[in-house]
Amino acid sequence: MANTGADDKKTYRVGIIGRTGKGGYGHALDTAWSAVPQTRVVAVSDDNKSGLGAAARKLKVNRAFLDYRKMLDEAKPDIVAICPRWVDQHAAMVLAAAERGIHVYMEKPFCRTLEEADRIVATCEKTHAKVQIAHPTRFSPMIDTIRRLIADGAIGKLLEFRGRGKEDRRGGGEDLWVLGSHILDMIRAIHGAPSSCFARVGWKGHPVTADDVFDGPEGIGPLTGDNLQAVYQMKDNVTAHFASVRNQAGNPRRYGLQIFGSKGVIELIEDTLPPVQYLGDPSWSPGRSGAKWQHVSSAGIGKPEPLKGPQYKARHTLGILDLLEAIQDGREPKCGMLEGRGVVEMIAACFESTARDSRWRCHWKIERIR
């Protein structure tokens, strides 16, 4: 197990919140705790009766609740796992936990609006509850490796980030929320927060209008767009791009992040110990230059991967361990509520930019989007 500094002597009691048929248990957030000896699942809640029974049997717990608030009050967990993929109840669930001083590990997206994010931040600051969002790449050792390569000049002067979603049937606005949140968090992990957004969102061949807004799936709320292009201004005159077009998925897919510099490119795929490639080519065109892509491990370019162990294959172990350390040390988790709010802000800025000028001329300052 990775040494994170978390208290090995304390056993943290964990409560699980799921919603069968409405986001379920996310990407196995319910079972991830078995890989972390410092935790023990003590209770589960699910407002679907048959789903609750199945979850209790799978998790081997006796305490099962149809109402998650009752679980929080009676089981008194130290941490609650908010598992559903659907985002419509995320804020209410986090607030219920935070008001009771219970820490949170939760599925993405963080929440639906900046108003929800602000309420979560204010409540957690008052009760000192910690929130960790399940963006696995944020906890990857490869993030530090990529930062080091950039700082050491492996790709020269950093120029831009280019990210794309999965561009399947969800392409556009839904892809931005569901998969784009991972990409935006990766950009933030490597180069910090943007200062502005310049975006265009289209629908069926035309710039979106109010008539094109619909109720999004998985509890997203008001949504639009099947073609989306967003440009973010970053520090040091670096630009970050995100784009998604519906039903244009590739095989192999383009979902991931490319980082361009004056001397080369780094490519990063979303995962705990993800595939990372390096191209030492100032033209960015190996077809012209003859340059070859090289594998990058946590040790560097062209070196074998020294990190072994199940925590580097699991989706949540490193994030949970970081949460435990943050609780012990009284610090903000690596992918905590402030970073979560920042991602929501980047998503909101994309739609706000389009709403203010759908002809791609709006330059929206990211300060407070209402």
Would you list the DSSP string of 39-99?
Answer: EEEEEEEESSHHHHHHHHHHHT-SEEESSHHHHHHHH--SEEEE--S--TTHHHHHHHHHH
Query: What domains are there in the chain, each with its CATH number?
Result: 12-129 (3.40.50.720), 140-306+345-356 (3.30.360.10)
- 3-class secondary-structure state, position 166: coil
- pLDDT in the model for residue 96: 99
Q: Which amino acid is at 296?
A: V
Q: Do 180 and 188 contact (CB within 8 A), yes or no? A: no
Roughly what angle, to the nearest 10 degrees, separates helices 90-99 and 114-127?
10
Burial environment of residue 279 by CB neighbours within 10 A (0 to 12, 13 to 18, 19 or more): buried
- pLDDT in the model for residue 5: 52
Helix (H) and strand (E) counts in the chain? 10, 19
Distance of alpha carbon 44 from alpha carbon 64, whole angstroms? 5
pLDDT tens figures, 190-244: 999 999 999 999 999 999 999 999 999 999 999 999 999 999 999 999 999 999 9
Residues of the chain with pLDDT under 70: 1-8, 358-370
Distance of alpha carbon 213 from alpha carbon 337, whole angstroms? 28
Roughly what angle, to the nearest 10 degrees, separates helices 68-75 and 90-99?
20
CA angle 351/354/360 to nearest 5° reads: 140
- Burial pattern 105-119, b for ≥16 Cβ within 10 A else e, equals bbbbbbbbbbebbeb
- pLDDT in the model for residue 365: 46
End-to-end CA separation in angstroms for the chain = 43
Q: Which of 323, 326, 310 is nearest to 272 (CA)?
A: 310
- pLDDT in the model for residue 137: 98
Half-sphere exposure (Cβ direction) of 8: Cα atoms closer than 13 Å? 5
- pLDDT in the model for residue 7: 62
With DSSP H G I counted as helix, E B as strand and the rest as coil, what are the percentages for the chain, rounded to 5?
Answer: 35, 25, 40
- pLDDT in the model for residue 133: 99
